[in-house]
Amino acid sequence: MRGPFALRMSGLAFACVAGACGTHPPPPAPGDTPWEACPAGFHDECMTMEMPLDWNAPEGRETPVFVSRARSTSPSHADLWLLQGGPGDSADVFVNIVDELRAALPGFDIYTMEHRGVGQSGRLGCPVQESPTSDEGTAISPAEMPACIAAAQSASGGLQYFRITSAASDLAHAIDRTRTPDHDVFVYGVSYGTAVAIRYMQLRPNDARGIILDSVAAPGIAYFSHFSEQSDPVLHSLADLCAADAACSARLPPDPWTSLSAVTGKVGAGACPSANLSPVGLSAYVEGLLQQDDARVVAMALLHRVDRCEPGDLAALQAFRNTSTEMYAPPSPRFSQVLYWNVVFSDLWERPAPTIATLTARCKALSICSEGSLRLGQVQPLWPSFPEDPLAGKPIVTSSDVLILNGTLDPQTPLANAIAFSATVSSPHKTFVTMPFSAHATIEQAQVMSVDEPACGYQVLQSFLVTPEAPDTSCVATALPVSFASNPEQAETWFGTEDLWDNAERDGGNDDDAGDAGADADTDADASANADASANADAGAAADADGS
């Protein structure tokens, strides 16, 4: 399996814009810190800019916005800004990507910006309620919510100022303060980062040379209140692909979708009790696996094993729990749960808000539902209410060239949302690229058949940065289809077996051995329940495993 951004140099050359090579960016604005060494997770030089807390009162209180810059190793002629997902994630998620991009894009200075309210951009938090010694440790319990909100409101100067439009205004002014004369500016957003890029395009429709939107989360179209509904269609599409594969279809009678879609219901009715899985916990595992192009077939095999529930499957399910626990990575300390909730409920939640009964009914209609949207819906009434942003969903007329990338099998930002958004955009050169079989973040996950080539999204991005009016999209024809064949390495990693789907004998082993392991899984209920809970834990993580 190709690792993330295992890139090969494509030989793309970038010519210096006349008069731009060798020039220097402007000095920091008054009140900004000078460029200085960066903390871990960032590149070359960093600074903290002071931005107005309220962009409608620019002479009032200020709030910090942290920016990093990776300088081109050759004379630069363009700036590329990267906007991370989330909301609430730190720009340190780009630490490895920046290295790859700098090597592949000579002549580009690469910038990242921490969203206001995250990391060193005045992280929103509630120290008492997030203390490890509080009710639920670093998590924030419902009982702690009112005090947490009050603390964040007081410390920040007002949560109403920590929304998408404020972040996009920060971006526009950060670009103004760092832009070298004659440099072209490109803005790349992924997942929630596309929401900020879209708002920037609305505020500054003529400033950037190009806007790249990867896995589109458009305000006014994308809502976290619908997030839990987005995995079922992807599982159904995978089942349809499986049905067209004779070997895969034969494993899942009477047909793949009928087989897979019934499993959580069977578990809810008491099937396979030794697996120690609830329908919600099983759904959480499946939803997480569907977000990864190299693990979505594991999701299907997981459902198949729970459905079969033989002794060998119970041993494999215990191995799966162990692997899932080992692979779980806690959020960066720079992440802000408060900022996450604030943006979700202010800008990415339906209006009027759906009732708990509605969210519950939506979940019950699905074959898999981890209740992420429902848990968010239980928090939403506790959150301060702010007016809807008047720019949400409004048409955009821009002179920037626009590149839109979205996968056909993306459960986090569905293709239908990207299509709906694209219809609202008017640009001299708009390129919409649908990535076959791709999950979220196409510059990483839209894999192609050649192992010597980077992901198709990355190839198109590179081409767009050279010729934004007509990028080369030919790699779409080489998209790597979904393979349902068992991968021994994958089987060993996830299930501790030789085969992903079946319980083949191993080195003289037999079903009695598997039965013993299954019994161990059955008796270790506490450990299993804890692993199940960790897969199903925080509402924020469940609702946007986007890290994006």
Strands (E), 281-419: 396-397, 401-407
Two structure tokens written together for 396 = 């955009």
How far, in Å, CA of 112 to CA of 402, rounded? Answer: 20
> Which residue's structure tokens are 């301060």?
384
Residue 506 burial (CB count, 10 A):
14
More confident residue, 229 or 33: 229
Mean pLDDT along residues 381-399: 97
Mean pLDDT along residues 129-149: 91
pLDDT at position 456, please?
A: 98
Strands (E), 354-458: 396-397, 401-407, 425-426, 430-435
Mean pLDDT along residues 415-429: 98
Two structure tokens written together for 96 = 């490895």
How far, in Å, CA of 264 to CA of 165, rounded? Answer: 40
Report CA Rg, the chain: 24
How far, in Å, CA of 180 to CA of 413, rounded? Answer: 34
Two structure tokens written together for 464 = 């767009």
Query: Which secondary structure element, helix H or strand E, spans residue 46, and what is its range?
Result: strand 45-52
How far, in Å, CA of 137 to CA of 257, rounded? Answer: 40
pLDDT at position 505, please?
A: 55
Two structure tokens written together for 202 = 């609305």
How far, in Å, CA of 318 to CA of 414, rounded? Answer: 32
How far, in Å, CA of 386 to CA of 389, rounded? Answer: 9
pLDDT at position 136, please?
A: 86
> Does the pLDDT of residue 547 top 50, yes or no?
no
Cα end-to-end distance, the chain, whole Å: 20
Percent of the chain with pLDDT over 90: 81
Is residue 479 within 8 Å of residue 226, measured between CB atoms? no
> Does the pLDDT of residue 47 top 50, yes or no?
yes
Q: Dump the DSSP string for 113-172.
A: EPPTTSTTTT----TTTTSTTSTTTTS--GGGHHHHHHHHHHHHT-GGGSSHHHHHHHHH
If you ran DSSP here, which 8-state letter would residue 424 be given? T
Mean pLDDT along residues 208-221: 98
pLDDT band at 30 (very low <50, low <70, confident <90, very high): low
pLDDT at position 70, please?
A: 96
pLDDT band at 328 (very low <50, low <70, confident <90, very high): confident
How far, in Å, CA of 378 to CA of 539, rounded? Answer: 10
> Does the pLDDT of residue 540 top 60, yes or no?
no
Mean pLDDT along residues 141-169: 96
Beta bridge partners of 109: 79
Question: For all residues of the chain together, what is the average pLDDT?
Answer: 88
Task: Give the SS3 label for residue 277.
Answer: coil
Tens of pLDDT, residue by residue over 101-119, are 999 999 999 999 999 999 9
pLDDT at position 331, please?
A: 84
Residue 524 burial (CB count, 10 A):
15
> Does the pLDDT of residue 535 top 50, yes or no?
no
How far, in Å, CA of 506 to CA of 100, rounded? Answer: 41
> Does the pLDDT of residue 255 top 50, yes or no?
yes
Percent of the chain with pLDDT over 70: 86
| Domains defined along the chain, listed by start | 45-225+390-478 (3.40.50.1820), 228-330+482-543 (no CATH)
pLDDT at position 510, please?
A: 42
How far, in Å, CA of 406 to CA of 137, rounded? Answer: 37
- 317, with CB counted inside 10 A (0-12, 13-18, 19+), is buried
Task: Give the SS3 label for residue 207.
Answer: coil
pLDDT at position 25, please?
A: 52
Dihedral, 372, 343, 234, 438 alpha carbons, nearest 10 = -140
pLDDT at position 57, please?
A: 95
Cis peptide before 146 (omega within 30 of 0): no
Task: Give the SS3 label for residue 195.
Answer: helix
> Does the pLDDT of residue 543 top 50, yes or no?
no
> Does the pLDDT of residue 515 top 50, yes or no?
no
Mean pLDDT along residues 239-268: 97
> Which range, of 28-37, 258-267, 297-306, averages the lowest pLDDT?
28-37
Is residue 335 within 8 Å of residue 138, measured between CB atoms? no
pLDDT band at 11 (very low <50, low <70, confident <90, very high): very low
Mean pLDDT along residues 208-214: 98
> Does the pLDDT of residue 398 top 50, yes or no?
yes
Provide the CB-side half-sphere exposure for 424 (13 A, CA): 20
| Cβ neighbours of residue 341 closer than 8 Å, sequence gap 6 or more | 379, 383, 540
> Does the pLDDT of residue 542 top 70, yes or no?
no
pLDDT at position 142, please?
A: 87
